[in-house]
Amino acid sequence: MAGIHQQGGGLCLPSAVRCKNLVDGGETIPLLLRHEEVRRAARDWATSSSDAPFRVPIPSEERLRHDRQLPIESDPPAHTDYRALVEPWFLRAREPAYTARIAAIMRRLLAESLARDAFEVVTGFALPLKSRALAVLLDVDASEADRWIGWGVHVFHGPDGEAKAAALEAYLHEQLDRAVESPGDDFFGLLVRARLHGRPLTRGEMLGFANLAFASGRDTIIHTVACILGHLAARPQDLESLQADRSRIVLAAEEFFRVFMPLTHIGRVCPAGGDVHGVAVAPGGRVTLGWASANLDESAFACPEEVRLDRRPNPHVSFGFGPHLCLGAAHPRTLVRGLLEAVCDVVGRINLIDAVPRVEKTASYERVLGYERLVCRFTGTSASRSTHDRQPP
């Protein structure tokens, strides 16, 4: 990996390394690695622009969708206006009623898992959890989650990505058509009713918001949940620490987001080009921001390879930084904190039975993070076992 080695699920760097090169479709793209440089670029949308439909993700997604994802593939002032349309909706994830609905989903999934001798975490726990939580976030009927579970971990990446992308687009058209006919109180109804500078959104703009809602936080949350359960299986003392003092859960969740950052990097376009640590970037060329490496930068984090559940301060960039700070960050925070609370309530021990690591392979690097398959067994706490024993047959 040309001076970069794998450790702790991220890209750890010798102190001299500030940048490496990626290649996407023949384009050489400098990858920024350091915490402060990544944050500086994320703030500076004028020179590191997101106004680049399909080219913010790397690899590019021209073949996977027809509309720019909103608001992520836009810059201020348009980004500010687009974000304002939907931000209140996503901030609902902080409300007690929302948290209670997520907690109920968590309790059901944990009860089902405790009742089994063993269960597969990625597709048997994390995928249903994310799908059912998304139904709450979008305020659609809970039965929709069953359909989404069938889509797998990612909605359009993988060997059948183009077919899955077409299926997602058809689904979104179906939901928007329904909302046009009878606008409800769900997320699709919000998009149909929204007004931007006094006009309705175009169908392409609606699709841009909806596509991002399904694509941006799906595999990322699924892999984070699997990593957390794998970690607590490997380090039972950390589970015991959280059970002994629930006030540690908020800091622990942020540390898990830092270490188990599932999105390795994200692209920006340089309208005027420039020089990035000796790499010439042509006008309209790209640079990419290394979120995972920034989260393991020793200049920002003491002993960054260690999982410290009481780490403070913790200026991780797992939800981005600057004007494009993740619109939906409240949702995964609610989800992970709720997971830790529920696990502390009913799980006494997590036994690891089988694990197949997930390896993100590119022409430029390999990064181990998460699992293709993770099989665990939950043992209940003494209190949860006692409650189960008192249940009628």
CATH of the domain at 200: 1.10.630.10
pLDDT at 278: 87
- Residue position matching structure tokens 């003494």: 382
Structure token digits, residue 158: 């993988």
The enclosing H or E element of 162 equals helix 161-181
Angle between helices 78-91 and 330-346 in degrees, nearest 10: 30
State yes or no: pLDDT of 14 exceeds 70.
no
Handedness of CA 226, 229, 234, 235 (dihedral sign): positive
Residue 87 makes CB contacts below 8 A (sequence gap 6+) with 327
pLDDT at 25: 82
For 289-348, what is each residue's pLDDT tens digit?
999 999 999 999 999 999 999 999 999 999 999 999 999 999 999 999 999 999 999 999
DSSP annotation of 318: B
Total number of domains constituting the chain:
1
State yes or no: pLDDT of 390 exceeds 80.
no
Residue 335 makes CB contacts below 8 A (sequence gap 6+) with 102, 129, 130, 133, 221, 225
On the question of a cis peptide bond just before residue 332, with omega within 30 degrees of 0, the verdict is no
Q: List the Cα angle 164/153/223 in 5-degree steps.
A: 150
Domain that includes residue 240, residue range: 5-390
Question: How many other C-beta atoms lie within 10 A of the C-beta of residue 205?
Answer: 19
Q: How many CA atoms lie within 13 A of 343 on its CB side?
A: 26
DSSP annotation of 365: -
Handedness of CA 93, 192, 127, 50 (dihedral sign): negative
Give 362's pLDDT tier (boundaries 50, 70, 90).
confident
First-residue to last-residue Cα distance in the chain: 57
Give 12's pLDDT tier (boundaries 50, 70, 90).
very low
**Average pLDDT for residues 57-83, to the nearest whole number?**
96
pLDDT at 164: 94
Distance CA 67, CA 90 (A): 21
Per-residue b/e over 171-182, b at no fewer than 16 CB within 10 Å?
Answer: bbeebbeebeee
Handedness of CA 336, 340, 341, 347 (dihedral sign): positive
**Average pLDDT for residues 12-30, to the nearest whole number?**
72
pLDDT at 31: 94
Distance CA 68, CA 307 (A): 36
pTM of the model: 0.92
Q: Which of 65, 19, 70 is nearest to 40 (CA)?
A: 19
